[in-house]
Chains A and B, each alone.
Chain A
Amino acid sequence: MKVWINGDAHELADGAGVVAALDAIGAPRQGVAVAVDAEVVPRAEWDATALTDGARVEVLTAVQGG
C-alpha cells in the first residue's frame, strides 16, 4: 500500500503500522510525535495502530525556532 510520510510517498506492506512508517524515513523512536490523518497517535498506541492505504503520516520533532 502507499502511504504519505511527511509529504513523500512510501510503499509499505499491507497492515504496516506507525513504527514501520518511522523506520521508512529513518526516524528515531524518542523525541518524535506522530499524527495520522491530522490526529495525534499517542506513543502507547503506535504498535496497535495499523495504517491504511493513502494515509497521511506526519512525523515531527523539535527544531530550532521561536
Chain B
Amino acid sequence: MTEDQLVVAGRKIGSRLIMGTGGAGNLEILERALVASGTALTTVAMRRIDATTGTGVLDLLRHLGIEVLPNTAGCRSAAEAVLTARLAREALETDLVKLEVVADERTLLPDPIELLDAAEQLVDDGFTVLPYTNDDPVLARRLESVGCAAVMPLGSPIGTGLGIRNPHNIAMIVEQAGVPVVLDAGIGTASEAAQAMELGCDAVLLATAVTRAGDPERMAHAMRLAVEAGRAAHGAGRIPRRYWAQASSPDLDPSS
C-alpha cells in the first residue's frame, strides 16, 4: 500500500486519531490511554498555573513524543480566543492551535461569528489554525477561505457521545473541502469513529469517549482500530446499496 499519512499545513501527523486530554482521572490513566491510541497529536487547554500540578500534562506529552495541540477551550469571544492562542504559542512554542469559541455552557456549540473573526486574526498572525466548527458546510467553507489549515466539524455537542447526528452535512463538508476535515466532538464509541472515516474525514479528534470510558486504555485501542478500519474502508470503496438480495454463491448445479 502507498503511504497514507495525514498532512496538515505541510506537516505529517503520524496518526489519524487526534486525542484530547480532558476527563482522565489522573496522568497515569491518561498515559496508558494515549499510548494505546497510537496518537501523534494531542490537545491541551491553557489555564492559570497551579503549584500542585505544575506542567505535568506537558511533561507527559513530551515524554511520549506526542506533538502538543493547544486549544482555546472556555473562550467565548474572538478577543479571548486570540489572547489564549498567543499565550499558548509562547508557553508551548508551537504555532498550531485548535480554535474553540463556544456560545454557551449548555450546548458548548461554536459561536460562528466569533469563530470566523478569531480564525482570520490568528491566520494573519501566523498561526496554523484548526477550528472546531459546527457541522455547517457554509461555515466550513468560510473558515477555509480565511486560511484555516483544517476544518473540524462536530458530530454532536462536546461530551454527549451522541455520534454523528448529521452525516450528510459531514459528507458535504468533506466533498468541498480543500483542507483536511477532522471530525471533532460527539463520538461515543468505536463504530462512530469508523463512520466518520467512512464519510471521508481525514482524522477524528476525541477525548471523552476514551477518558470517561469504563476502561480508557481499552477504548483508546478500539478507537485506533476503528479509525484505521474506517479509513481503509473509505479508500476501498463500499458496494452500492441494493433493494433485493444478490446471491454471493453460484447457483446450484441444475443436474444434481
Contact = CB atoms under 8 A, between A and B. Distances in A.
Interface of A: 6-7, 25-28, 30-35, 38, 40, 42-43, 58-66
A30 B21 CA distance: 20
Contacts of B157: none
Contacts of B45: 62-66
Contacts of A33: 46, 86-91
Contacts of A43: 90
B87 A40 contact: yes
A18 B105 CA distance: 34
A60 B53 CA distance: 12
A35 B48 contact: no
A61 B47 CA distance: 6
Most buried by B among A34, A38, A40, A61: A61
Contacts, number: 103
A31 to B, nearest CB: 4
Given A63-B57, A64-B30, 12 more contacts: A31-B92, A32-B49, A33-B87, A33-B89, A34-B90, A60-B47, A61-B49, A61-B58, A62-B58, A63-B47, A65-B43, A66-B73
Of the listed residues A25, A31, A42, A43, the one surrounded by the most CB atoms of chain B closer than 10 A to its CB is A31
B68 interface: yes
A26 B51 contact: yes
Contacts of B47: 60-61, 63, 65
Given A40-B83, A60-B48, A31 B91 contact: yes
Interface of B: 20-24, 30, 43-51, 53-55, 57-59, 68, 70-71, 73-74, 83-84, 86-92, 98, 100, 207
Contact of A25 (B30, B46, B49, B91): B49
A65 B83 contact: no
Contact of A65 (B21, B48, B86): B21
Given A28-B54, A64-B57, A66-B71, A59 B30 contact: no
